[in-house]
Structure 1
């Protein structure tokens, strides 16, 4: 699928935008935008694509998509039939990370909301939300400006405090990697991202951190909760997902572009991380 930029610019004199959508089917475009997007599916079924996540969707789900994370809701084939009378309905809220100013979310009372927005870079599915939160979303378009803002903050606070959630896209999805706040660690990760598509070793990466390989290996696993090798494979597979969805390269070329020197190893690592082989992933992303 070709990736498209969509302009979701918030209209003047508004800090965020809320729209109730009702169409025969949702927009069939694999797209991204700098604004975050909170979506409530009121009525519809199909397949949801967010980053390198591919899942079925149905009515009632609530999803928060972070800035510049590619996404698309693709309705089932029956929605595109000439005789179809089906309707796809959803509420979509678009807002910038700093929609109330750069310092607003630094307030200690809003730490949970700030953390939620940071986590949204991977896409979040909220499971088992209280019906009161859904009601607040559905009422939002009817509110006047000040009441609308207060109610939106109440929605974000409820989502931030809701613990039953699922992260959708993988951390290895290269284009949307969230940088570390630790300077030394950031230098190491930057080196990995600049060199993942060639053969790199634990020894050379440890040297970037000015650590011996054994100490670095322990530090890396403690910090990331996975080994350096596991992390490197996630980055490579994430990049492979990007190539599979946005380019016309064949699997063999993508294997070598992603840093693997064996197609069989590439297939094995890809299936281990994504749950399906690259050929199936490619098929699912080329259905339109």
Structure 2
């Protein structure tokens, strides 16, 4: 995982139109908020401890310093295919609205929405369609028009209820360079290995810390114990697997890193309020409408 450099000091936000064979960024985070609209592509999206499928039309607002990654399906990495991925991305600083205008009462809804974005927001419905049109139009606008469009986009999202919080974890701090590198190593290690047995001592070693110091450090960063973070990551991945017809409940449990089916069922129901089987059935029923 890497830390992406800050925006240029002369810019209040950055607009990019990325057209690539596949999304190549590893797990990364940065001090800017990021609004990503997937125009073309499919795969798995990681935001904090949330793991979901993504496809064309996917739209997510990621808060500052929240680790994230869009990883394409395997077919995108194969030779001799004519697939491509495209994303329109807007990055802007947290202080974008911290001016006289940003403190206006009329901006309160936007500020509140950006606070929620610390855990990542998935934008859906008519709001997503409206925002997507504005993002595409921004590619052909001058700098002043783009500022106005960004304010309208944030207003559109804040005024709607068509978004869902993605991650159970937010990161509210700024870090020194050494802290950034340590968090990056730990987060990347977890996300690459959570489906296998993870030894807490090994993770502490990745951070170059003693076991006790690491446990305190990890909770100070994520506001969760390591065991809770790992459990929720596995359960979120299990939710993704349950939406596929390829695996039964037992296979999902073991593929998500659980070696005890009863424990998996118990923890899943505690998190979601329903059993894994009920979760799968509800999704399949929704697909028939």
**Does the TM-score normalized on the shorter chain lie above 0.5?**
yes
Please give the residue correspondences for 1:61-80 in structure 2 after superposition, counting only pairs within 5 Å.
61-80=58-77
Alignment-derived partner of residue 147 in structure 1? 145
The Cα shift of 1:244 comes to 2.1
The Cα shift of 1:247 comes to 8.1
Query: How many residues matched?
Result: 209
Is 1:244 aligned to residue 241 of structure 2?
no
Q: Could you give the per-residue CA deviations for residues 54-76 of structure 1, whole angstroms, max 9, x where no partner exists?
A: 10000112100000000000000
Distance 2:94 2:38 in 1: 22
Match of 1:143, SS state, is coil
Is 1:274 aligned to residue 271 of structure 2?
no
Please give the residue correspondences for 1:130-145 in structure 2 after superposition, counting only pairs within 5 Å.
130=127, 131-145=129-143
The Cα shift of 1:166 comes to 1.2
Alignment-derived partner of residue 84 in structure 1? 81
Distance 1:122 1:4 in 2: 19
Shift in alpha-carbon separation, 1:282–1:30, aligned structure 2, 3 A: farther
Please give the residue correspondences for 1:135-284 in structure 2 after superposition, counting only pairs within 5 Å.
135-171=133-169, 176=171, 244-245=190-191, 251-253=198-200, 270=231, 274=235, 276=238, 280-281=255-256
TM-score, normalised to structure 2, is: 0.63
Alignment-derived partner of residue 225 in structure 1? none
The Cα shift of 1:104 comes to 3.8
Alignment-derived partner of residue 128 in structure 1? 125
Structure 1, unaligned runs of 5 or more: 179-239, 260-265, 284-288
Distance 1:151 1:102 in 2: 18
Distance 2:126 2:55 in 1: 15
Q: Could you give the per-residue CA deviations for residues 108-139 of structure 1, whole angstroms, max 9, x where no partner exists?
A: 00111111111110000011134332111101
Alignment-derived partner of residue 38 in structure 2? 41
Distance 1:139 1:132 in 2: 11
Shift in alpha-carbon separation, 1:151–1:28, aligned structure 2, 3 A: closer
Shift in alpha-carbon separation, 1:111–1:271, aligned structure 2, 3 A: closer
Match of 2:117, SS state, is helix
Match of 2:23, SS state, is coil
Distance 1:177 1:279 in 2: 33
The Cα shift of 1:19 comes to 0.8
Which protein is bigger by CA-based radius of gyration? 1
Contact 1:37 1:92 in 2 (8 A): yes
The Cα shift of 1:270 comes to 2.4
Distance 1:165 1:40 in 2: 14
Contact 1:245 1:282 in 2 (8 A): no
Contact 1:251 1:278 in 2 (8 A): no
Alignment-derived partner of residue 108 in structure 1? 105
Contact 1:51 1:71 in 2 (8 A): yes
Aligned-residue CA RMSD (Å): 3.3
Q: Could you give the per-residue CA deviations for residues 21-70 of structure 1, whole angstroms, max 9, x where no partner exists?
A: 10000124110000000011101000001111110000112100000000
Q: Could you give the per-residue CA deviations for residues 126-179 of structure 1, whole angstroms, max 9, x where no partner exists?
A: 1113433211110112111211111110011001112021111104x6xx158x
